[in-house]
Structure 1
Amino acid sequence: MNFKPLLTLAAICLIAPLTAAPSLRLHDGKEWKELDAAALAKLPRVEITAKARDGKEKRFSGIPLAEVLKLAGAPAGDTLRGAEMNRVVLFTAADNYQVAYSLAELDASFRKQNIILADQVDGKPLDEYEGPLMVVAGDDLRHSRWIRQVKQLILTRAIAPAS
C-alpha cells in the first residue's frame, strides 16, 4: 500500500494552521466586519523598534492601529474630543485574554504612534505563539498589553453605571 498521499495529507493538515493567513474580526459598535488577509494587506504598514519580552531590541512590522480603526469609523484627530473621549478599543486574543486601550492612546494627534498590530518581527512572520497578529506597544514598560494572537477588536464606550 502506498502511504505517500496519506502522509502528504497529514503534513498539510499539521502545517496549515501554523501558516494561516492573518484575519481579524472588527466590531464597530453596530456590527461585525471580517478583515481577511487581503483587506489587511491593503492597509499602510510601519516599523517600530521595541524591547520584546526577552528584553532584546527587535524590529516589529505591521499596521498602525489607527488605520484599522478607520475601517470601524472611529473618530480621529480633531473629531476625537468631547463625548468621543470615552471610546475604548477592546482586543481579544485566541485564549480570550483581553486588553483595553483608550481611543486617544491610538490616535496620532494625542501621542507618538508606536502601537501597532504587528505580523512580523525582524523581517519574519510572528511565530505561532505570538502570531499571526500581535499588538505591540513600544513605549509600555511592561508587556501586559502586548496582546498576542489577536482575533478581534471591539470599538465601544466606557460608560459609568447609573448612580
Structure 2
Amino acid sequence: MFSRRTLAAAFAIAAFASQIQPVHAQMAKMEEHTHKPSAPSTSLSLTVAGKTTTYALADLQAMPQKTVTVHNAHANTDETYTGVLVSDLLAKVGVTPEKLGNKAIYHSYLKAEGTDAYWVLYSATEIEPAMHKSTAIIALTVGGKPIGEDGVFKFVASDDVHPARWVRNLKALTFVTVE
C-alpha cells in the first residue's frame, strides 16, 4: 500500500494546495476593490511639471474623439467606449514625444487616479500611439451612452487583458518624468 512517508507527503501537499488561491481568484479580489461605490467623477485634473489644468466634460467633448471596442473580463462582454486619446490630452498641455526627447519618454509615467483613491501607472510609451499598439482613452461614453456609475470619465486601455488598470470615476492624471 502506501508508506507513512508517502501519506504524510500527500497530506502536506494537499494542505499546502488548499491554502493557495489560483491567480485568477486573487485578481478577482483585487478587481473587486475597484468596483466599490465611490463618488462620481465630475472634473478631471491633469498635472504636468507641477502645473495643474482642470477639465470639465464639455472640454473633452470638444476634442477629437476615438472609439475603441474592448473585452471587459468582469462582465465577459465586449464594450465600445468613445473618448479622448490620453496622448491628445497630454499634447494639449505640451507633452509630446518630440518635446520630451527620445530618452525622457522612456523615463516617464502617467498616474491615473479615481475618486475612490484607486490608482494605476502606465509608462509614457504605453499611452503614445506612435510607440505602442494599445489605445489609451479617457472614455466619455460606453455603447453611445454616458459612462453612468463609472463617473463622467473612465480610463480605458485597449490592450489590457483584464480591466484592473482601467480607472472608474477618473479624477486625476499626473504625468511624471523621472530624472
Q: TM-score scaled by structure 2?
A: 0.71
Give a deviation string over 1:88-124, Cα, whole Å, max 9, x none.
1111100111111111111111122422111111111
**Residue ranges of structure 1 left out of the alignment (5+ in a row):** 1-16
Q: 5 Å matches for 1:59-78?
A: 59-76=80-97
- Quote the residue 2:24 is aligned against: none
Larger helix proportion, structure 1 or 2?
A: 2
State the distance in 2 between where 1:123 and 1:83 align: 37
Which among 127, 143, 156 is matched to residue 163 of structure 2?
A: 143
Residues 153 and 109 of structure 1: is their aligned pair in 2 closer, same or farther, counting only changes over 3 Å?
same
Measured in 2, the distance between the counterparts of 1:89 and 1:133 equals 16
Residues of 2 paired with 1:134 and 1:40: CA distance? Answer: 12
2:133 aligns to what SS in structure 1? coil
* Structure 2 portions without partners, runs of 5+: 1-38
Cα contact 2:105–2:125 (8 A) shared by 1: no
Preserved contact between residue 131 and residue 148 of structure 1 (Cα < 8 Å): yes
Aligned to 1:50: 70
1:90 aligns with 2:111: yes
> Deviation per CA, 1:58-81, whole angstroms, max 9, x where unpaired?
111111111111123212268551
TM-score (normalised: structure 1): 0.77
